[in-house]
Structure 1
Amino acid sequence: MGIQITKESEDDRLMTLSVGPQHPGSGHFRFVVKLDGDYIVHCDPDPGYVHRGEEKMCEYRNFIQNIPHLERPVIHDSTNITYSYSLAVEELTGIQVPRRGQFIRAIASELNRQIYTLYWLAIYGIFLGHSTMFMWPTGDRELFIDLMEALTGARVTHAFNIPGGVRNDIPNGFKDRCLRQISYYEKRLKEYEDIFYNNPLVRQRTEGVGILTKEDAIGLGVTGSVLRASGVPYDIRKAEPYDIYNEIDFKVQYMQTGDSFARAYVPFLDMRESCHIVRQLLDKMPESGEVRAKLQANPRGPPGEAYRRVESGRGALGYYIISDGSPKPYRVKISVGSFRNMLALPHLLVGAKMGDMPVIYWALNYWPVEADR
Structure 2
Amino acid sequence: MSKQLPPGLAVESVDERIMTLNVGPQHPGSGHMRLIIKIDGDYIVSCDPDPGYVHRGEEKMAEYRNYITNIPHLERPVIHDSCNVLYPYCLGVEDLLGIEVPERAKYVRVIASELNRCVYTLYWLAIYGIFLGHSTMFMWPAGDRELLIDLLEKMTGARVTHAYFVPGGTRNDLPANFEDVCLRQVNYFEKRIREYGPIFYDNPILIARTQDAGILSREDAIRLGTTGSVLRASGVDFDIRKKEPYDVYEELDFQTNVLKEGDSYARSKVPWLDMLESCRIIRDALAKMPKSGSVRVKLKPNPKGGDESVYRRVESGRGSLGCHIVSNNKPEPYRLKLSVGSFRNLICMPYLLKGEKLGNMPAVYWSLNYWPVEADR
When normalised by structure 2's length, the TM-score is 0.96
* Residue 341 of structure 1: aligned partner: 345
Question: What CA deviation, in whole Å up to 9, does each residue of 1:293-335 have, x standing for no partner?
Answer: 1211111221100000000000000000000011100000100
Within the alignment, does 1:63 sit opposite 2:106 as a pair? no
Within the alignment, does 1:193 sit opposite 2:207 as a pair? no
2:270 partner amino acid = V
Q: Secondary structure of 1:12's partner?
A: helix
Q: Where in structure 2 are the equivalents of 1:271-350 lying within 5 Å?
A: 271-350=275-354
Counterpart of 2:371 (choices 346, 367, 370) is: 367
* Residue 51 of structure 1: aligned partner: 55
Q: Where in structure 2 are the equivalents of 1:78-89 lying within 5 Å?
A: 78-89=82-93
Q: Where in structure 2 are the equivalents of 1:345-356 lying within 5 Å?
A: 345-356=349-360
Distance 1:190 1:298 in 2: 47
Question: What CA deviation, in whole Å up to 9, does each residue of 1:115-158 have, x standing for no partner?
Answer: 00000000001111110010010000111110000000000000
Residue 11 of structure 1: how far off its partner (Å): 2.7
Within the alignment, does 1:266 sit opposite 2:277 as a pair? no
Q: Secondary structure of 2:15's partner?
A: coil
Distance 2:342 2:370 in 1: 5
Q: Secondary structure of 1:225's partner?
A: helix
1:263 partner amino acid = R
* Residue 134 of structure 1: aligned partner: 138
Residue 203 of structure 1: how far off its partner (Å): 1.0
Q: Where in structure 2 are the equivalents of 1:139-154 lying within 5 Å?
A: 139-154=143-158
Question: What CA deviation, in whole Å up to 9, does each residue of 1:86-138 have, x standing for no partner?
Answer: 00111111111100001000000000001000000000011111100100100
Distance 1:309 1:138 in 2: 29
When normalised by structure 1's length, the TM-score is 0.97
Question: What CA deviation, in whole Å up to 9, does each residue of 1:248-293 have, x standing for no partner?
Answer: 1110011000000000000000000100000000000001010011
* Residue 156 of structure 1: aligned partner: 160
* Residue 4 of structure 2: aligned partner: none
Contact 2:32 2:54 in 1 (8 A): yes
* Residue 5 of structure 1: aligned partner: none
Distance 1:209 1:180 in 2: 38
Unaligned 5+ runs, structure 2? 1-11
1:149 partner amino acid = E
Report percent identity of matched pairs.
67
Counterpart of 1:219 (choices 223, 242, 260) is: 223
Question: What CA deviation, in whole Å up to 9, does each residue of 1:28-67 have, x standing for no partner?
Answer: 0111010011110111110000001001000000000000
Counterpart of 1:111 (choices 104, 112, 115) is: 115
Within the alignment, does 1:73 sit opposite 2:73 as a pair? no
Distance 2:209 2:101 in 1: 47
* Residue 30 of structure 1: aligned partner: 34
Residue 206 of structure 1: how far off its partner (Å): 1.0
Distance 1:264 1:171 in 2: 35
* Residue 4 of structure 1: aligned partner: none
- Provide the alpha-carbon RMSD of the alignment: 1.0
Counterpart of 1:16 (choices 17, 20, 26) is: 20
2:375 partner amino acid = A
Distance 2:45 2:332 in 1: 47
Moved over 2 A (4+): none
Within the alignment, does 1:91 sit opposite 2:83 as a pair? no
Contact 2:134 2:205 in 1 (8 A): no
Counterpart of 1:256 (choices 257, 260, 264) is: 260
1:311 partner amino acid = E
